[in-house]
Amino acid sequence: MNPVAPVAADPILLDTITRLFGDTCSHEVVQAAESEGWAPTVWAPFAETGAPWIAVPEGAGGSGGTLADAVGVLRLVGRYAAPVPAAETGLLGGWLAAAAGFDLPAGPLTVVPGRSEDDLVLDGSNLSGAAHRVPWAARADLVLALVDGRIVAVDPNGPGVEIVPVRNAAGEPRETVLFRGASARVADAPAGVDASALRRRGALARGALIVGALDRVGEVTVGYANERQQFGQRIARFQAVAQHLVRLVSEIQLVSMALDAATAAATVGDAAFEIASLKVLAGDAGSEVVARAHQSHGAIGMTQEYVLHQLTRRVFAWREEFGSTAFWREELGRLVGDAGADRLYPLISQGSAALA
Amino acid sequence: MAGSSFEYTVLTPSEEALRDEVREFLRTELPPGSYEPDLGMSATHSPEFSKKMAARGWVGMSVPRRYGGPERTAVDRFIVVEEMLRSGAPVGAHWVADRQTAPTIMKFGTDAQRERFLPAIAAGECYFSIGMSEPDAGSDLAAVRTTATRGDGGWFLNGTKIWTSGAHQNHWFIVLCRTSASEGDKHEGLSQLIVDLHAPGIEINPIPFLDGTHHFNEVVMTDVFVPDELVLGEIGRGWQQVNSELAYERAGPDRWLSVYACFEHLLRERVHGTPGARTAEVIGGITARFFALRNLSLSVSRTIDRGGAPAVEAAIVKDLGTMFEQDMIAALHDLWGAEPSLDAPTTGERMLARAVLTGPSFTLRGGTNEILRTIASRGLLGWYGLAGAR
């Protein structure tokens, strides 16, 4: 009936991952990963910590830990633009594998996000059809998908699978995977594991990545405006620039709050209201924050040499995934309309708990 | 990571009980359809309603028990204000006294002033206006020209205050004035006096608001005598005191709930069953922002209760909130608005017409958002560990 209290991520874990990405995700490494499609020098030490499998139960081969831990790690992945399939391996793929009772392979996992243009068909244990925008498919040990209420897992390097290279706006692999009667492991999806649940978890994960990237956009922009001198003084001293800084930092605070509320709600329930709100605000903040960050920087922000683009292009890419901003706005509006005017304020103040 | 004090928080069971109590009170006292809802804090002046709220301990909530108040927390006040404003309740009479006068008198007032005003405020019987702006002192508040000159046992006030909401209905206002000439720094030499709006020498002239309503006044003071016992705080410390007072008014639900009741009424009037795509998109976009803003605003109250001083956070909530209110008016009007009409047949449409007309004031009242951002920008440096960069 009432919303749940905040849940904090493990500070030691966050500290470890912060240092790890700080050491491994240099500007050059992130840049190189975009052309090569993979960054072994990031994935290997990241996998070593077990962090990719956080929130996947230990009994299922995962690292255990809470949803808040996983969200905290994803926020850092976003902050450092770390080129690793963290969400796909844990919150999404690991979740599906655990629900199906499949053993986890040693390497990364990926998932079929489930887009309207997909046409996957399961015939016994053979999978056919096309899956679109599958993250890092060529690098994954296993591709997991939901097909007709069943969880299926296919080795993307096995026979009957072709991978067509496609990248998102940030140069991250989002391949088209063509299955031609590929051999699949199949299990019935338990209650609560379906296409909408996958989309919600995906949206929460993308929300966390976006907030992480925006955290750093704020830091970089405020820092730059306090160093860069024009007309004989720091540009942050000009009111016009100061307005940009306050507005962009404000939007970051807003979406960051939405992430914390969504994480708390998703720990105990489906968090349909909170996650939809998060993805809407992350998309809106993407426009507002990115525009003001670039405007504050001037031309340097538009170059490959400077860090800003590694963050802003990822925000542009991630906000389209697992439901666009417009998709989630509409989804949320229907939820509110169905709940009715009498439950509007309970929803705003209590979130999904008001629907329970 | 940014070092703001925003932290997600939820209501405790006893706070939830308070919220339920307020909702029950509103169901009894203001049943739907029995009143025309107001747009947030620019609410109807109803001493009767204020006294009913006071009887529940919901006016002057911060006032300590020894001064006749309920001594409640900032979060408790948040809850009461939230429920009142979202219902468009007539909270106009006690609004300023509750939000900023009571905490200001508690902080800077003498014991005699506290004894005199705080019990009356908490009883819902003593109403205040704000005496800051002047014809030549708007955003540049330190430019006030109202002067107080020393007399026998007190001060003689001369000058003009402007945009004084409710001066024609309220009992007192706290006047920011110059008590000594400024030599160099104009922030020096300012003081605050508590002034009886019915004192000899006070002339109150209405300034009609653009929609024809009467909130604003010009208050002309000619040799108004203010006894020494009504000097608030220290002579010469007016600037510091006024800034502290302004901080109280920034982050509350009044900065993002002004148009909520309009939204709810239009939803009830216009949406039956699952909305179509365009309607759903607008509703979804508004609701998401309400949800996150409320959490930011609540978090500021929680921080205050923990002894923090979230000044930048409060400025950010006011900026985000008031801009959201205006964006929301535009979105609702775009989606549902016919020509705005104060005589429209439904509550939601009449409220939307009032919102369209008066919405531009939302980012002005209490200080323009542009000035607010300039102040907030200085605080950002500390958040990002750049405090030395200035």
Model confidence pLDDT, tens digit, residues A274-329: 999 999 999 999 999 999 999 999 999 999 999 999 999 999 999 999 999 999 99
Instruction: Please answer yes or no on whether A333 and B296 come within 8 Å at the CB atom.
Output: no
For residue B207, what is the domain's CATH number? Answer: 2.40.110.10
| B140 and B60 assigned to the same domain | no
B207: containing domain: 130-236
**Other residues' Cβ atoms within 10 Å of the Cβ of residue B206:** 12
Chain A residue at shortest CA distance from B314: A250
**Residue B3, domain member (yes or no):** no
Amino acid B386 reads L
Round to whole Å and give the CA distance between B332 and B278: 12
Round to whole Å and give the CA distance between A80 and A212: 8
List, as own/partner pairs, every contact residues A305-309 make where C-beta atoms lie below 8 angstroms and the sequence separation is at least 24, other chains included: A307/A27, A307/A216, A307/A220, A308/A217, A308/A220, A308/A221
The ipTM, to two decimals, is 0.96
Chain B residue at shortest CA distance from A243: B373
Chain B residue at shortest CA distance from A276: B288
Cβ contact A93:A111 at 8 Å: yes
| B186 and B285 assigned to the same domain | no
Instruction: Please answer yes or no on whether A243 and B377 come within 8 Å at the CB atom.
Output: yes
Domain finish residue from B64, B92, B126: B126
Cβ contact B45:B169 at 8 Å: yes
Domain finish residue from B187, B204, B236: B236
Amino acid B337 reads G
- Chain A / chain B CB contacts < 8 angstroms: 181
Instruction: Say what percent of chain A tops pLDDT 70.
Output: 100
Chain B residue at shortest CA distance from A252: B2
Sequential DSSP letters for A206-230: HHHHHHHHHHHHHHHHHHHHTT-EE
Amino acid A323 reads G
| B185 and B256 assigned to the same domain | no
Q: Give A326: exposed, middle or buried? Use CB within 10 Å, 0-12, 13-18, 19+.
A: middle
Of A239, A281, A328, the CB nearest to B289: A281
Of A3, A215, A254, the CB nearest to B10: A3
| B262 and B380 assigned to the same domain | yes
More confident call, B4 vs A247? A247
The pLDDT, as a whole number, for residue B390 is 41
CA B248 to each of CA A190, B99, B130, B304, B305: distance values in angstroms, whole numbers, following the listed order: 52, 7, 13, 10, 13
CATH code for the structural domain at A11-188: 2.40.110.10
| B80 and B185 assigned to the same domain | no
The pLDDT, as a whole number, for residue A126 is 98
| B213 and B260 assigned to the same domain | no
Per residue in A74-106, pLDDT (tens digit) is: 999 999 999 999 999 999 999 999 999 999 999
Mean pLDDT over A162-170 rounds to 97
**Residue B4, domain member (yes or no):** no
β-strands B128-131, B172-178 pairing: parallel
Amino acid A110 reads T
Average pLDDT, chain A: 96
Round to whole Å and give the CA distance between A273 and A288: 23
How far off is chain B from A339, nearest CA to CA, in Å? 9
How far off is chain B from A264, nearest CA to CA, in Å? 9
**Residue B298, domain member (yes or no):** yes
**Residue B150, domain member (yes or no):** yes
Cβ contact A149:A188 at 8 Å: yes
Cβ-based contacts of B10 with chain A (< 8 Å): 2-6, 264
Cβ-based contacts of A344 with chain B (< 8 Å): 263-264, 267, 287
The pLDDT, as a whole number, for residue B337 is 73
Cβ contact B297:B253 at 8 Å: yes
User: Is it the case that residue A114 has pLDDT exceeding 60?
Assistant: yes
Round to whole Å and give the CA distance between B346 and B325: 21
Q: Give A129: exposed, middle or buried? Use CB within 10 Å, 0-12, 13-18, 19+.
A: middle
The pLDDT, as a whole number, for residue B1 is 43
How far off is chain A from B344, nearest CA to CA, in Å? 20
Consecutive 10-residue averages of pLDDT for chain B (390 residues) = 82 97 97 92 94 98 96 97 97 96 96 98 98 94 96 98 97 97 88 98 96 94 98 96 79 95 96 96 98 97 92 94 97 88 93 94 92 90 71
**Residue B7, domain member (yes or no):** no
Sole residue written with tokens 């969880």: A151
Cβ-based contacts of B264 with chain A (< 8 Å): 341, 344-345
Q: How many domains does chain B have?
A: 3
| B164 and B94 assigned to the same domain | no
Instruction: Please answer yes or no on whether B294 and A349 come within 8 Å at the CB atom.
Output: yes
Sequential DSSP letters for A298-309: GGGGGSSSSTHH
The pLDDT, as a whole number, for residue A301 is 93
**Residue B8, domain member (yes or no):** no
Query: Which SS3 state, helix, strand or coil, does residue B364 take?
Result: coil
Domain ranges in chain A are: 11-188, 195-355
Q: In chain B, where does DSSP find H-type helix?
A: 13-29, 47-55, 74-86, 95-96, 102-108, 111-122, 238-248, 260-270, 277-305, 311-336, 347-358, 369-383
Q: Do domains A11-188 and A195-355 have the same CATH topology?
A: no
Round to whole Å and give the CA distance between A147 and B319: 47
In the structure, what pLDDT confidence band is assigned to residue A232 with cuts at 50, 70 and 90? very high
Secondary-structure class of domain A195-355 per CATH:
mainly alpha
| B254 and B347 assigned to the same domain | yes
The pLDDT, as a whole number, for residue B169 is 97
Instruction: Please answer yes or no on whether B291 and A277 come within 8 Å at the CB atom.
Output: yes
Query: Which SS3 state, helix, strand or coil, does residue A83 take?
Result: coil
Contacts of residue B21, defined as CB under 8 A and 6 or more positions apart, other chains included, come to: B56
Instruction: Please answer yes or no on whether A255 and B292 come within 8 Å at the CB atom.
Output: yes
Strand partners, B190: B178
Domain finish residue from B175, B201, B236: B236
Contacts of residue B32, defined as CB under 8 A and 6 or more positions apart, other chains included, come to: none
| B361 and B309 assigned to the same domain | yes
The pLDDT, as a whole number, for residue B120 is 98
Of A250, A331, A344, the CB nearest to B264: A344
**B interface test, pick of A246, A284, A332 with most B CB neighbours within 10 Å:** A246
Reported in sequence order, the residue ranges of chain A that DSSP labels E, i.e. its strands, are 109-111, 121-123, 126-135, 142-147, 150-154, 161-164, 174-183, 185-188, 229-230, 233-234
Largest Cα span, chain B? 72
Per residue in A250-262, pLDDT (tens digit) is: 999 999 999 999 9
In the structure, what pLDDT confidence band is assigned to residue A3 with cuts at 50, 70 and 90? confident
Sole residue written with tokens 């008031």: B322
Cβ contact B115:B102 at 8 Å: no
